[in-house]
Structure 1
Amino acid sequence: MTSPDRGIDGKPVVTVRSMDNLSVGVTLCDRFSFDQDSVHYAVELRAPGLTARVDEVVAWAWDSDLAPFLGELAADFRGWDGERSWRTDDGDLTVSAAFRSGGHVGLTWTVRPWPDAVGGWSASVTTWLEAGEQMATLASGVRHFLAGEQ
Structure 2
Amino acid sequence: MTSPESVIIRCQDNAAVGVTFRDRFSFDADSVHYAVELRAPGLNARVDEVVSWIWDSDLAPFLEGLAADYRGWDGERSWRTDDADLTVAAVFRSGGYVGLTWTLRSWPASGGRWGASVTTWVEGGEQLAAFAAGIRQFLHGER
Same-fold call, TM cutoff 0.5? yes
TM-align CA RMSD: 1.4
Map of 1:127 onto structure 2? 120
Q: Say whether 1:80 aligns with 2:78.
A: no
CA distance in 2, matches of 1:148, 1:136: 17
CA distance in 1, matches of 2:106, 2:96: 32
Map of 1:106 onto structure 2? 99
Aligned residue identity for 1:75? A
CA distance in 2, matches of 1:47, 1:108: 12
Map of 2:40 onto structure 1? 47
Residue from 2, 5, 9 that aligns with 2:3: 5
Contact 1:92–1:115 at 8 Å: present in 2 too?
A: no
Residue from 117, 136, 139 that aligns with 1:143: 136
Q: How many residues align?
A: 143
Q: What SS is found at the alignment partner of 2:138?
A: helix
CA distance in 2, matches of 1:103, 1:38: 34
CA distance in 2, matches of 1:131, 1:140: 14
CA distance in 2, matches of 1:46, 1:30: 17
- Report the CA distance between 1:119 and its aligned residue: 4.6
CA distance in 1, matches of 2:78, 2:21: 18
| Structure 2 gaps, min length 5 | none
CA distance in 2, matches of 1:98, 1:55: 27
